Structure 1
Amino acid sequence: MKIVIVGGVAGGASAATRLRRLNEQAEIIMIERGAHISYANCGLPYYIGGAIREQERLTVQSPEGLAARFNIDVRVNNEVTAIDPAAKEVVVKDLISGEQYSEAYDKLILSPGAEPLRPPISGIDSPGIYTLRTIPDTLAIKQFIEERDARKTIVVGGGFIGLEMAENLRERGLEVVVVEAADQVMAPLDPEMAAMVHDLLRDKGIDLRLADGVREFSAGEDGLNVTLQSGVSLSADLVLLAIGVRPDSKLAKNAGLELGDGGAIKVNAHLQTSSPDIYAVGDAIEVTDFVSGNPTRIPLAGPANKQGRIAANHICGIADTYKATQGTAIVKLFAMTIAATGNNEKQLQREGIAYEKSYTHSGSHAGYYPGATPLSAKLLFAPDDGKILGSQIVGYQGTDKRIDVLATALRAGLTVYDLEELELAYAPPFSSAKDPVNMAGYVAANMLNGHHPVIHWHELDDLDQEQVLLLDVRSREEHQLGALPNSVLVPLDQLRSHLHELPRDREIIVYCQIGQRGYLAARMLAQAGFKVRNLSGGYVTYRYGISE
């Protein structure tokens, strides 16, 4: 059997090595238009920032190494320019010699990846404007910074790559402006969670311009002028475009393969295209959203590697299937860690999926052990059976392991009631006896079983102030630092002695800093016959929810 693989990075390299492990006799040819294969494109910003100092560490495997260890014919600087599914041939151009040749195949795997978006903005091809996708991109950006002694940079786009680049440029000591057309960074987060990231970026000296896009680039006296849609003019030595990617599906389209609505390659559960002997994996394909069951595009390295393995399995007769993508993702920004899995509110609303949500603000480990850091979690779940639909966590230590637990729970179809019962590793330096994941389950389960009626931060504006009492059960010092408008202060430990002063003809909205004392107050009031709801996530969530 002869297998040709188009693309030699995540999905392509994973498929090639799995094929060899399963079939020692197969002829495997990997064709890569770039000069590098199997490189860590997720590590590129950290090489620019200096966290990764040796370029060689970005390359997991070389063409020579892959040939020696796996007996794979690796052809770098070669580009597949056409596919003939009927003849089962590809046309290849050697980008060094210019020679063109044909290569037959029994099975073909497409792993062309995605390409950075470059919208038709005036001046976008000016010197000093870059995208980051490959090792040559990385080297060019690093060389430009060093040779031009760049001091001022603008990052256009507030997604994962854009913010990782903003962090690394700032760590190099450069001035950084982040321009984002949406009203928040990091689309997988809901706005009140993204607001925590906004605060961090500003605290680190990054100029964050939200709800504003680029109108024009032009040459200035000392670099580039960038005019925003708002009319604001900024100057920069270097501009990095990080406004997203689109699937590189030109080859597939020209070969007559079926594409999805977003231009990605349609595949079945075995990752076969509309031509059964042609498989496709990675950022160029359309996948199924694990939560909604609908087609979508989720360009992530983890799924790409898994898809390469599954395609190789199927080619070798293993009836393996790719079940869906849930979009589990994580990013480090300075000391903060931001992570998400499953759907957010925007996605659930768009898909018409009913949901409820909870907020918890926990410590990363036992509070009495030194060094605990805050961890804020949002959990989305079905209102009928508590099935987990998604989660977002913004924190410092331990964020990664909590999102992995929740991602596993979501994949397994677990509910918030199952989260209550999870037995997770505990010792004071690592967690609490009730882990933050357990706490998220407790809060959500209490909401569903009627023990914890809540109101969310965005619902406060809809209240008739004459029909409710806003009751702050925090300390006087906390209240003085910031409180809900028109709220009355009765600290929790004094509440029992003041119950007779509270109105019984109005609903009481109780709140504290993070929701825990508010819950205790709500239980006390409910059992005393008051109509009461607790502000979910407390004043902390409210403050982030209303911030810009």
Structure 2
Amino acid sequence: MKIIVIGSVAAGTSVAAKARRNDEKAEITLYHADYDISYSICGIPYFLGGEVDELETLTPRNAAWFKKRYNVDIHTRHEVINIDSDKKMITVKNLDTNEEKVDHYDTLVFANGAAPITPPIQGVDRQHVFHVRNIRNTAAIHSFIVSKKPKKVTIIGAGFIGLEMAEQLTHKGLEVTIIQRDHQIMPHLDQDIAFLVEEHIRENGVNLLLNEEATVITDNYVETKSGTVIDSDLVILATGVKPNTKLAQKIGVELGESGAIKVNAKMETNIPNIYAVGDVAESFSVITGKPIYRPLGSTANKMGRIAGDVITDGDLEHRGILGTGILRVFDLAVGYTGLSEKEAKKEGFDIEILHNIKPAKAAYLGGKEIVIKAIADRKTSRILGVQIVGAEGVDKRIDVFVTAISLKAKAKDLFHLDLAYAPPFSTTKDPVMYTGMALQNALDKKNKLITPQQLTARIENGEQFQIIDARATKQYEESKVDGAVNIPLAQLREEAKKLDPNIPTVTYCNKGVTGNAAQNVLINMGFKEVYNLSGGNKNYQSFKRSISTH
């Protein structure tokens, strides 16, 4: 059997490695148009910022290494320019010599990834404007920084790469401006969580412009659609990627809803003996079963391994993804998995929303707060999605939530997890466990939750609420929810007799725990409709700042 793979970064090399492990006799050939193979795209910002000393660290393997270890042939600077799927024949062009040759296959795999999107901006082709996608343009950026010593950089786009580049170039001493077309950074996050990150970015000296578009790039500045002029001697394009589907489309390979190649669970396309993996291929959501496109190295490796196994008579199948992501932005880690609030609503789920603010480890050992936003389905109690922001412990918790969601866990299951505990690592009731407990109480309608957004919308719609601040008077005087009256928890049982138990009531404290205790007092006293404010006053004040900013 002869296997030909088009592309040789994460997905393509994974196909080859797994196929060889299963079948020692197969002939495996990879054609790769670029110079470098199997490199870490995600590590590029950290080389440019100086955390990685040598660029070669990001390219630990070459064609000779793969030949020696796996007996596969990798041809760099060779582009597949034509495919005859009936004759199982490809035409390959040597990009260094312009010579063309014909090769034959039994099985063909598209692993040719995605290309960076170049926005239609006047001057985008200038020499100080760079994409951040491969080793060669990384070397070009590094050379430019060393030789030209730029002082001001404009980054167009506020996704993973844009934020990571902002962090790294700020650390390098450059003055950084980010231009983002959307009303928020990181479109996969909900706005309330994205806002926490936006504040942190600005606190670290980055000039963040939202709802803006770059229209002109000159040698000295970037001009936006609104007329804002930003001094810039370096411009980074971080405007996303699009799958390289042109070659596949020419032979009738079907594309999915996302515009990437449509595949089944075995990574097969609609054409027999042709597969697609990695950033060129579409995945599907573990939760909804619907198509999803999230080009990440982790997914690419997984897809490649599955295809390599299936091609050599294995039984692996793709189980879908949650769209999990994590990145570091200065002192914060930002993680997310599953559906966001806006995505869950769009899918028609009736959802419960919890904002859980807890220290990642014992407060007496300096534990720093993490903010967990969790979404659950009211009908099934299943966890649908989680977003977490914090200075520590985010990766640990997001991976627990990923596992739970993948195994279709319900909110109550989280409380019963036997998680590792010791004061340097966690709290006795880990934030994951508390999330499950509080969510389940809300799902059971014992302790209903209401978000600042929901409360504000209902009040603006004319509904009447009694809002009880259960904190100490000093805290109330410093900041409070609009329309709230201060009744400290210790006085609530007596003062509640003066309230109307038939009017919807909201209790809150700083972050939620005392507000929950106040809620229980009122419920036990016969109040008919009592909510605890999700995330307490801390979350409410963040919501108010978000409104004023956006």
Bucket of the pairwise TM-score, normalised by the shorter protein = over 0.9
The equivalent position to 1:419 in structure 2, one of 406, 414, 417, is 414
Q: 1:498 — aligned with what? A: 495
Q: Mapping of 1:152-301 within 5 angstroms?
A: 152-217=152-217, 219=218, 223-301=219-297
Mapped to 2, the partners of 1:62 and 1:280 lie a distance apart of 23
Mapped to 2, the partners of 1:253 and 1:296 lie a distance apart of 19
The answer to whether the 8 Å contact 2:8/2:30 transfers is yes
The answer to whether the 8 Å contact 1:128/1:224 transfers is no
Matched, 1:308 2:304: yes
Q: Deviations over 1:319-344 (max 9, x none)?
A: 22112121111001112100001111
Give 5+ residue unaligned stretches, structure 1. none
Distance 1:502 1:149, change over 3 A: same
Mapped to 2, the partners of 1:143 and 1:247 lie a distance apart of 28
Q: Mapping of 1:447-526 within 5 angstroms?
A: 447-461=442-456, 462-463=458-459, 467-526=464-523
Distance 1:85 1:486, change over 3 A: same
The answer to whether the 8 Å contact 1:381/1:389 transfers is yes
Q: Mapping of 1:77-226 within 5 angstroms?
A: 77-217=77-217, 219=218, 223-226=219-222
Residue aligned with 1:510, SS: strand
Residue aligned with 2:515, SS: helix
Q: Which moved more, 1:453-462 or 1:335-344?
A: 453-462
What amino acid sits opposite 1:75 in the alignment? H
The answer to whether the 8 Å contact 2:119/2:239 transfers is no
Mapped to 2, the partners of 1:359 and 1:11 lie a distance apart of 37
Residue aligned with 1:337, SS: strand
Mapped to 2, the partners of 1:500 and 1:380 lie a distance apart of 35
Q: CA shift at 1:476, angstroms?
A: 2.6
Q: Name the % identity.
A: 38
Mapped to 2, the partners of 1:481 and 1:61 lie a distance apart of 58
Q: Deviations over 1:492-514 (max 9, x none)?
A: 23323423333445332111111
The answer to whether the 8 Å contact 2:353/2:449 transfers is no
Residue aligned with 1:447, SS: helix
The answer to whether the 8 Å contact 1:191/1:545 transfers is no
Q: CA shift at 1:300, angstroms?
A: 1.1
The answer to whether the 8 Å contact 2:265/2:318 transfers is yes
Mapped to 1, the partners of 2:463 and 2:375 lie a distance apart of 31
Q: 1:362 — aligned with what? A: 358
**TM (normalized to structure 1)?**
0.97
RMSD: 1.4
Matched, 1:320 2:336: no
Q: 2:535 — aligned with what? A: 537
Q: Deviations over 1:83-112 (max 9, x none)?
A: 111111111111111111111111111111
Mapped to 1, the partners of 2:339 and 2:505 lie a distance apart of 32
Residue aligned with 2:328, SS: strand
Mapped to 1, the partners of 2:410 and 2:220 lie a distance apart of 52
What amino acid sits opposite 2:522 in the alignment? L
Residue aligned with 1:495, SS: helix
Mapped to 2, the partners of 1:356 and 1:508 lie a distance apart of 18
Q: 1:58 — aligned with what? A: 58
Mapped to 2, the partners of 1:133 and 1:478 lie a distance apart of 49
Distance 1:450 1:350, change over 3 A: closer
Mapped to 1, the partners of 2:405 and 2:26 lie a distance apart of 38
Give 5+ residue unaligned stretches, structure 2. none
Matched, 1:375 2:373: no
Q: 2:423 — aligned with what? A: 428
Q: Deviations over 1:458-498 (max 9, x none)?
A: 12222277832221112233223321122111222332342
The answer to whether the 8 Å contact 1:164/1:332 transfers is yes
Residue aligned with 2:316, SS: coil
Q: Deviations over 1:359-413 (max 9, x none)?
A: 1011101223x12111110111110121111111111211101000100111111
Aligned length: 543
Q: 1:28 — aligned with what? A: 28
**TM (normalized to structure 2)?**
0.96
Mapped to 2, the partners of 1:194 and 1:213 lie a distance apart of 19
The answer to whether the 8 Å contact 2:130/2:137 transfers is yes
The answer to whether the 8 Å contact 1:336/1:396 transfers is yes
Q: Which moved more, 1:400-409 or 1:25-34?
A: 25-34
Q: Deviations over 1:87-145 (max 9, x none)?
A: 11111111111111111111111111111111222222122111111011111111111
